[in-house]
Structure 1
Amino acid sequence: MPSMMHPIWLTAVLACAAEQAQALRCVAPDPLRTFSEIAAAPEDYYVLYGELTFDEAELPEGLRAMGAGLPAPIAAQFRGKGLTQAGFTSDYISPVTLQIDCMANYCGTAQSGIDALYFVRADPTPVTMVASPCREWIFPEPTQAVLDQLTACMQGGC
């Protein structure tokens, strides 16, 4: 009997390792690709540019244990602009929730007090900004060229 359990155990370990390795594969973050994805999504989204402030001491530190739940949401404040047909012209000042998302034992992160681009599901207030390990929802310090390209996309020119 032990000889049969060993291959099963080895297969289970290899399957978990393969699953973890696959879960950590991310495509290079690209705000234009994210814009295209949310434009095709059935849900509504906001594209926001501005400053998120929160207590960085609440961010999870290091690697988390496998199978651990998501870190607790972090209360934050956003001050910036929302994307419209005319560009980032709509004031958006609101309390928000920052949710750190994790895959395997790696978690996303965010920075307080810097200008960044946020793709946020248009849920009831407060909206939730998600910091994922693949960095597809938050783009720190985008260039003016990126902001201009997103405006062009909003106008149908992507």
Structure 2
Amino acid sequence: MLGTGWCRATRHEPRVRVVLTRQGKDTVRIDAPVRAFRCTGPRAQIGGGLLLQGVDGGNGVLVWLRTADSLRVGAWPLLQRGDTLSPRGATVGVRFMLGDAARGALLDSGTVWITRADSMVALVARGTGSETLTATRMAVEATFAAVPVGVDTVSCRAQL
């Protein structure tokens, strides 16, 4: 009796891997599925960059690559919360659970390195920021590999 096999390529689910280090000793790791959305600019025009979001339960990371034109490979500076003047840069925020308490931080120093920017985007965000609850400094490294850029759009705006 001859057996037949059905071979199907495994479906690639893009993921983000995040390592958070608090006070140089406590480490939190996040491994989450990720999606990339094109941002709409003022009056719903396409423009404004790309938003990457990786979430797993109460843990996650958000990266907004803000630009007036196309994404470019290379180093991108981190922008401060509410910066509406810089034409190009990245905003990175993380959220994680410690017990029942939600914690989070916006990176205020560091760099985002974009290594691929075509129909897919790949990047590494490295930097530091203060936890919103305790003001404890933390280091963050988030690695996004081969995330497809979808056709869906979201509204991306800086607000204070």
TM-score by length of 1: 0.32
Bigger strand share: 2
- Larger fraction in helix: 1
TM-score normalized with structure 2 length: 0.32
